[in-house]
Chain A
Amino acid sequence: MSRTLLKVNGQSRTVDVEPDCPLLYVLRDHLALNNPRFGCGLGQCGACTVLIDNRAVRSCTLPVSAAAGKEIVTLEGLATDGNPHPVQKAFIQEQAFQCGYCLNGWVLTAKALLDKNPHPSDEEMRTAFENLICRCGSHVRIFAAVRQAADETKRSA
């Protein structure tokens, strides 16, 4: 066990964990941040996604020691001052999911994508999402939500 300092959703949190423990279990079991979800533990599906220095990262395969000191944002931390992030608003507007178990990965990956590329082409969007799984098949509405969020950015730019 070792003490590790994490910066999560703008707060400093110290956890006492095995350094090789994947960040996912630290967030869930030590910090009660439940939205990074266990989907495969193999980095294949994206349910465990968090933003680290604003890049979408698979927390199920990332040792906690590798995340120490970096800016970690989970779905819980996406809203600012209680206001949903525009990407969240677009997903709500489009009613984009069925069961929603995977949504953490899609919402955070969409946020990271739009920050880097506010107006992705259809091809760029599909490329960014190629490694995410949605078992229910909600993709059509997910894409619509991302397009809407991109349009929103365009309008407010």
Chain B
Amino acid sequence: MAAKNVLSRREFVKDTGGLLIGFSLADSAVLPQVLAAAAEVTPTPSPNRLDAWLRIDRDGTVHVFTGKAEIGMGVETGFAQIVAEELDVPLARVVFVMGDTSSTADQGGVGGSTSIALGSKPLRNVSATARALLLRLAAKNLGASPGELQVREGVVSVKADPARKVSYAELAASGDLDDALKVSGEGFALNVEGLGKPKDPSTYTVVGQPVPRVDLAPKILGKWPYVTDVRVPGMLHGRVVRPAGVGAKLMGVDDSAAKKIPGYLQTVTKGNFLGVVAENEWAAIRAAKALRVSWSAPERAFPEQKDLYQHMRSVAPKATKETLKKGDAAGVLASTTKKVQASYEVPFQSHATMGPGCAVADIHTDGLSTIWSGGQKPHALQKGFAELLRVPLDKVRVIWVEDAGSYGRPGFEDTAADAVLLSQAVGKPVRVQWSRADMTAWGTKGPAVVCDLAAAIDERGEIGAVDFTSRAFSGGEIMFVPATADNYLGAQLTGIPNTSGVDEFAQWGVQAPAYVFPNVHAVSHVLSGFYSGASPLRSTHLRDPEGPQTSFAVESFMDELAAATGADPIEFRLRHLDNARAKAVLTAAAEKAGWERRPSPKSNQGSGDIVTGRGVGLSTRGGTYVGTIAEVEVNRRTGAARVTRFVCAHDCGLIINPEALRGTIAANLIQSMSRGMKEEVTFDRSNVTSVDWTTYPIARARDIPAQVDIVLIDHPELPPSGAGEPSSRATAAAIANAIFDATGARVRQTPLTPARVKAALSGSHSA
């Protein structure tokens, strides 16, 4: 196989021998080659060196090295705009190496919608510093002071006499441009500062422009490699076979039928971990099916699915946290004459990534190991795999290569660990491709969350107090930073207990907007997972951890309070907000939608089957504000609801690329609509029974609204905040609120299926 096939634009980094900024000869071999053999493991570069971040090649190419990764939202393009802006080079000249532990600094990988907000800071600063250093050199070269110089497209010239000029490429080849950078923070917050001062945002000409994403044209033209396309010399193909149910122990394997399959090589077992390795992929698939495996009877670790929420309300919490306390909510609630109470329930959901997970590992425990993975935190994986292999960190190199969109910690990490275990066992590079069921059933899950809210309404119709209680499986039962061996499903199956998990709560005020009321009390509980070993219902980060769940409750409840007090749902929210930007997105969305000011539900709906309505939801997350309005059509006979239009007003501070941002918001709205209306992981007492796209349905072409209107509110005077998650937060609530507006029926449990809507319509308990 032609090795070049897997080189992406990102790896067009050629070892041209060109002099690079601050680039010492000793480093000349480290330019990343995706297919480099394990022998090329080098320590993660120290972030205090300019050349750890940025180098200029002899042909003027600007190589940028970042520990961030592209997970499908266009962050590479945003980074390129930021670098091109600060350096004054054409955008096309900026190329990236992302997420390679041997050549990029540890920026914590991707997470929390922080890549632009935090991850771009060091890139901006090193670009500004490189520009300042180049200007110094140019001043010497051209016999002028830096103040007399200008830069256009990577060429420095004398303002008064532009014929006197020198290019960055020539300058970089002529001198040492290293600068010691001041390092602060770590992980997501890692920053460096040098002598260059970034530009004033009011002067930006590249940042803020709607340039096409650098990856999309090559992807659409079929020229973009994903991790599934990595092939290394001598590579074998592996498949894993998961237990017959949670807690089932591997009693024996008969591989006599597998042995008859041409290309079959080996069955690998370690504790309850089971996999096969073959010469080609089809042989691996067939061999995995041909194994006759005896498993012990699985544990009945899960409740009946219908009892899930009852279970969540009845078990003693593992951990409890009081997150908001103002005044005496309990006292006011106890003495009120008018009280509104409601409970909301959101099920486990699957990342169900488009590609089910794929990785290649070339493991040498007595030497150097390389793992190619699309997991969004490559430096954490390096630590975890070093621990799993019991080798020093500098013996392991993780090379991130783009996989399908990951939306958190989906299991790509577990796929890579499977590849590590299989390669270690057979002593050859192994590519593991997960099956659909490996991902949908055995991948990690977003946690189920129940929230109970109560409010007191005083005689003037004002809200006197609000009480909030959540009960959730932890968003960190599987630690979302996969930096320890116990993190991985395969490792857990070998017998390593999961001890690195953390309690992550569903908190009002964090995962849902902090509205202002005179008396407030909020408590969050985390519940123990069902099974402490390898479980298909283990929970971790799924896009906007606990955000959609908590916001479904709070944003629905705000709607119920508005209805109870006869208020318009937007006006009611505005009255209980003290944040101008939160208010502004609601107002902007209302204006764009042509929102009719009135309480819900809508009156005079007639007697036909089809009724329409509109609902709103607010999301506030890490400095980003999103107001979402859903317009729906509901069939009162069948309960089927359909979103006909979304309007979304979005404020994430300074906008780097409005077109890429619109694309991400539009997709976020559809994905979160899918989660709110379709998605629920099903399970029996021992197994997850959502195994494919039939048993885990998501939104399809017919479900897509005809119209999506996005209003971007730009704040060039503010730093950029995140956009990867905030617009997925309030969608389900906006839809449920719209269904209420259309029908007067309140659905308090997602997904908002026809059966649930119908049940709510018929007045039975919606749960």
Report which A residues bind B (CB closer than 8 A): 1, 17-18, 21-22, 25, 28-29, 32, 34-35, 37-42, 44-45, 47, 74-76, 78-79, 84, 88, 91-92, 95-104, 107, 122, 125-141, 143
From residue B403, how far is it (CB to closest CB) to chain A in Å?
7
Q: Decide if A140 touches B666 in the complex (CB within 8 Å).
A: yes
Q: Does B354 contact A135, Cβ atoms closer than 8 Å?
A: yes
Question: How distant is the Cα of A145 from the Cα of B671 in the complex, in angstroms?
Answer: 19
> Is B674 within 8 A of A99, CB to CB?
no
Flag if B213 contacts A95 (CB, 8 Å): yes
Nearest CB to that of B406 among chain A residues?
A99
A34 touches B225 (CB 8 A): yes
The interface residues of chain B lying within 8 Å CB-to-CB of A134 are: 354
Q: By the criterion CB–CB under 8 Å, are B228 and A95 in contact?
A: no
Picked from A41, A95, A98, the residue with its CB within 8 Å of the CB of B405 is A98
Q: Which of chain B's residues 322-371 have a Cβ closer than 8 Å to chain A? A: 352-356, 358
By the criterion CB–CB under 8 Å, are A135 and B220 in contact? Answer: no
Q: Is the CB of A137 within 8 A of B355?
A: no
What's the least CB distance linking B670 to chain A, in Å? Answer: 3
Asked, given contacts A40-B356, A102-B354, whether A129 binds B701 with beta carbons under 8 Å apart, the answer is yes
User: Do A100 and B220 contact each other (CB < 8 Å), given the known contacts A32-B5, A126-B702?
Assistant: yes
- Tell me the minimal C-beta distance from B506 to chain A in angstroms: 23
Check B693–A47 contact: CB distance below 8 A. no
B217 CB contacts on chain A under 8 angstroms = 92
In whole angstroms, what is the CA distance A84 to B5 when docked? Answer: 19
* Chain B contacts for A138, CB-based, 8 A: 663, 666-667, 670
Query: Does B404 touch A at the CB level, under 8 Å?
Result: yes
Chain A residues in 8 Å Cβ range of B433: 38
What is the CB-to-nearest-CB distance from A5 to chain B, in angstroms, rounded to a whole number? 19
Residue on A nearest B710 in the bound complex, by CB: A140
- Residues A39 and B282 in contact, CB atoms below 8 Å apart: no
- Bound-state CA distance A104–B226 (Å) is 13
Task: Answer whether A88 and B221 are a contact pair too, CB < 8 Å, given A42-B692, A126-B701.
Answer: yes
Bound together, the chains give a CA A24 to CA B284 distance in angstroms of: 14
A132/B262 contact (C-beta < 8 A), A97-B219, A100-B72, A101-B405 known: no
Query: Mind listing 7 A-B residue pairs with CB under 8 Å?
Result: A29-B282, A44-B693, A47-B355, A95-B663, A98-B405, A101-B72, A126-B704
Additional A-B contacts beyond A37-B355, A41-B436 (5; CB < 8 A): A17-B282, A21-B282, A92-B220, A136-B354, A138-B663
Kindly identify which residue among A32, A39, A92, A126 contacts B212, using a CB–CB cutoff of 8 Å: A92
Q: How far is the CA of A22 from the CA of B663 in the complex (A)?
A: 34
Interface residue B229 (Cβ < 8 Å from any Cβ of A): yes
- Report the Cα distance A45→B701, complex, angstroms: 12
| Chain B residues whose CB sits within 8 angstroms of the CB of A18 once the complex forms | 262, 282
Q: Could you tell me if B281 and A39 are in contact, using CB atoms closer than 8 angstroms? A: no
Of A25, A35, A88, A99, the contact of B354 (CB 8 Å cutoff): A99
Q: Are A1 and B669 in contact (CB under 8 A)?
A: no
A135/B353 contact (C-beta < 8 A), A32-B2, A34-B228, A140-B704 known: yes
The CA-CA distance from A6 to B506 in the complex, in Å, is 55
> Is B224 an interface residue, CB under 8 A from the partner?
yes
| Cβ-defined contact, A95 with B701, below 8 A | no
Residues of B within 8 A of A (CB): 1-2, 5, 71-73, 212-213, 215-217, 219-222, 224-226, 228-229, 231, 262, 280-282, 285, 352-356, 358, 402-405, 433, 435-436, 659-660, 663-664, 666-674, 692-694, 698-702, 704-706, 708
One of A1, A38, A137 near B356 (C-beta < 8 A) = A38
Once the chains are docked, how many angstroms separate the CA of A34 from the CA of B281? 14
Q: Which chain B residue shows the least CB distance to A1?
A: B262
CA distance A84 to B220 in the complex (A): 9
CB-CB under 8 A from B282, the residues of chain A are: 17-18, 21-22, 25, 29
**8 Å CB contact of A137 from B1, B667, B694, B702:** B667
B interface secondary structure, majority = loop
- Tell me whether A98 and B664 are in contact (CB under 8 A): yes
Which residues from B are CB-within-8-Å of A79? 221
Please tell me if the beta carbons of A95 and B670 are within 8 angstroms of each other in the complex. Answer: no
The reply to whether B702 and A98 form a contact with Cβ atoms under 8 Å apart is no
Question: In the complex, what distance in Å separates the CA atom of A147 from the CA atom of B725?
Answer: 28
Interchain CB contact under 8 A, A137 and B669: yes
Residue B280 contacts which of A22, A29, A45 (CB distance < 8 angstroms)? A29
- Residue among A34, A75, A103, A137 with the highest chain B CB neighbour number at 10 A: A137
Q: Which of A22, A40, A41, A122 has the most CB of B within 10 A?
A: A40
| Measured CA separation A141–B710 after assembly (Å) | 13
**Cβ A132 vs Cβ B701 within 8 A:** yes
Our pick among A78, A100, A137 for the contact of B699 (Cβ within 8 Å) is A137
Q: Check if B405 sits within 8 Å of A135, measured CB to CB.
A: yes
Q: Establish whether residues B72 and A130, one from each chain, have CB atoms under 8 Å apart when the complex forms.
A: no
Report the bound CA distance from A32 to B225 in whole Å. 11
Q: Given A22-B282, A29-B280, A92-B212, are A40 and B436 neighbors across the interface (CB < 8 Å)?
A: yes
Residues of A within 8 Å of B666, CB to CB, are: 137-138, 140-141
CA–CA, A50 and B225, complex, Å: 18
Are B704 and A143 neighbours in the complex by a CB distance under 8 Å? yes
The interface centre, meaning the residue of B222, B228, B280 with most chain A CB atoms within 10 A of its CB, is B222
Write out the residue numbers on chain B whose beta carbons fall within 8 Å of the beta carbon of A130.
700-702
Q: Which chain B residues lie closer than 8 Å to A95 at the CB level?
A: 212-213, 216, 659-660, 663
A99 adjacent to B72 (CB under 8 Å): yes
Question: Is there contact, CB below 8 Å, between A135 and B436?
Answer: no
Please determine whether B220 and A29 come into contact, CB atoms closer than 8 angstroms: no
B670 touches A140 (CB 8 A): yes
Contacts of A143 in B (CB 8 A): 701, 704
In the assembly, what is the distance between CA of A19 and CA of B717, in Å? Answer: 63
A91 touches B693 (CB 8 A): no
Cβ of B222: which chain A residues have Cβ within 8 Å of it? 34-35, 74-76, 78, 104
Kindly identify which residue among A35, A41, A74, A139 contacts B670, using a CB–CB cutoff of 8 Å.
A139
* A35-B222, A75-B222, A100-B72 known; A137-B354 Cβ under 8 A: no
Contact in complex: A32, B1 (CB < 8 Å) = yes
User: What is the minimal beta-carbon distance from B234 to any residue of chain A, in angstroms?
Assistant: 14
Instruction: Give the distance in Å from the alpha carbon of A122 to the alpha carbon of B668 in the complex.
Output: 22
Tell me the bound Cα distance from A90 to B167 in angstroms.
Answer: 37
A136 with B702, Cβ < 8 A, contacts A37-B228, A141-B663 known: no
**Structural contact, A99 and B216, CB atoms closer than 8 A:** no
* Top 6 closest pairs, chain A to chain B, by CB: A99-B72, A137-B670, A99-B405, A101-B404, A137-B671, A129-B701
Question: CA separation between A126 and B404, bound complex, in Å?
Answer: 23
Across the interface, name the chain B residue whose C-beta is closest to A75: B222
In the bound complex, residues from chain B placing their C-beta under 8 Å from that of A97 are: 72, 216, 219-220
Task: Tell me the complex Cα distance, A141–B692, Å.
Answer: 25
- Residues in chain B near residue A74, CB distance under 8 A: 222
CB distance from B67 to the nearest CB of A (A): 19
- Are A100's CB and B224's CB within 8 A? yes
Q: Which residue from chain A places its CB closest to the CB of B439 in the assembled complex?
A: A40
Contact of A133 (CB < 8 Å), options: B212, B224, B354, B358 = B354
Inter-chain contact A140/B708, CB cutoff 8 Å: yes
Shortest Cβ distance from B672 into A: residue: A137
* B355 close to A139 (CB less than 8 A): no
Contacting residues, chain A, for B280 (C-beta < 8 A): 25, 29
Q: How far is the CA of A78 from the CA of B702 in the complex (A)?
A: 27
B670: A residues at CB distance < 8 A: 137-140
CA distance A84 to B285 in the complex (A): 35
- The answer on a CB contact under 8 Å between B221 and A136 is no
Contacts of B404 in A (CB 8 A): 99, 101-102, 135
Q: B358 contacts which chain A residues (CB < 8 A)?
A: 38
Contact B219 A100 (CB under 8 A): yes
Chain B residues, Cβ within 8 Å of A129: 700-701
Are B674's CB and A137's CB within 8 A? Answer: yes
Give every chain A residue within 8 A of B212 (Cβ-Cβ). 92, 95
Q: How far, in whole Å, are A35 and B73 apart by their CA atoms in the complex?
A: 20
